[in-house]
Structure 1
Amino acid sequence: MSQQKVVLLLGSNLGDQKKNLELALQKITDAGNNISQISEFLMSDPVEFVSSNIFCNIAAIIFTHLSPIQLLDCIKGIEAEMGRVNDSKVSGGYSDRVIDIDIIKYNEIIFSSERLEIPHKKHLFEREFSRILLKDFI
């Protein structure tokens, strides 16, 4: 498979958030993906749940040989390695997290399965912090 252009959004609201994001980006690279662009860090309040911990977020453009599902498996593995114990798709709700990595766009494809929806409509159209981060990436 040739290189595919993917937009990711990463967030953390536990521990050293910036360090968590940098470690996640390093693990994405270590998994064989090429990061071509990274946004500035953006601090934001939690969305769709209540917490006293603010989020640090970042957007990234990567190039990957992985299919959408392979990439999802890769980033879910990174989240687990970094200590994320609950996934909102499994638990049915949002909570504090060491790391969250979402696939926002994968080339221009439209893809929907039980585990993954591309493009990620909530980040593209509903969440203000996402629109700020993604304005130069979409």
Structure 2
Amino acid sequence: MSQQKVVLLLGSNLGEQKKNIELALQRISDAGNNISQTSEFLMSDPVEFVSSNIFCNIAAVIFTHLSPIQLLDCIKEIEIDMGRVNDSKVSGGYTDRVIDIDIIKYNELNFKSERLEIPHSKHLFERDFSRILLKDFI
């Protein structure tokens, strides 16, 4: 499979947020993906749940040989290895998290399964912090 252009959003609101995001980016790179561009960090309030912990977020463009599901498996493994215990799809709601990595776009692919929806419509159309981070990437 040739290189695919993917836009990711990463966020953390527990521990040392920027370091968590930097470690996640390193792990994404170590998994054989090429990170070609990142946004500035953006601090934002939690969305769709209440917490006193502020989020640190970043957008990244990567190039990958992985299929969408393979990439999802890769980033879910990174999240678990970094200590994320509650996935919103499993728990049914959002909670504080050490790291969250979302696939926003995968080339121009439209894909929907039980585990993954591309493009990620909530980030593209509903969340202000996402639109700020993605303005130069989409």
**Same fold flag (TM > 0.5):** yes
Distance in 1, matches of 2:127 and 2:86, equals 21
Could you report, residue by residue, the CA deviation over 1:89-131 in whole angstroms, capped at 9, with x for unpaired residues?
0000000000000000000000000000000000000000000
Identity %: 89
Q: How does 1:61-80 map to 2 (within 5 A)?
A: 61-80=61-80
| 3-state SS in 2 of match to 1:56 | strand
| 3-state SS in 1 of match to 2:10 | strand
Q: Is 1:122–2:122 an aligned residue pair?
A: yes
Match of 1:99 in 2: 99
- Give the superposition deviation at 1:19: 0.1
Match of 2:49 in 1: 49
- Give the superposition deviation at 1:29: 0.2
Query: Quick one: which amino acid aligns to residue 121 of structure 2?
Result: K
Distance in 1, matches of 2:31 and 2:109, equals 22
| 3-state SS in 1 of match to 2:95 | coil
Query: Quick one: which amino acid aligns to residue 41 of structure 1?
Result: F
Match of 1:21 in 2: 21
Query: Quick one: which amino acid aligns to residue 45 of structure 1?
Result: D
Match of 1:132 in 2: 132
Q: Is 1:85–2:94 an aligned residue pair?
A: no
- TM-score normalised by length of structure 2: 1.00
Match of 2:58 in 1: 58
Unmatched runs of 5 consecutive residues or more in structure 1 = none
Task: Give aligned pairs, total.
Answer: 138
Could you report, residue by residue, the CA deviation over 1:61-85 in whole angstroms, capped at 9, with x for unpaired residues?
0000000000000000000000000
| 3-state SS in 1 of match to 2:66 | coil
Distance in 1, matches of 2:81 and 2:95, equals 18
Distance in 2, matches of 1:91 and 1:85, equals 10
Unmatched runs of 5 consecutive residues or more in structure 2 = none
Q: Is 1:38–2:38 an aligned residue pair?
A: yes
RMSD: 0.1
Query: Quick one: which amino acid aligns to residue 50 of structure 1?
Result: V
Distance in 1, matches of 2:128 and 2:37, equals 21
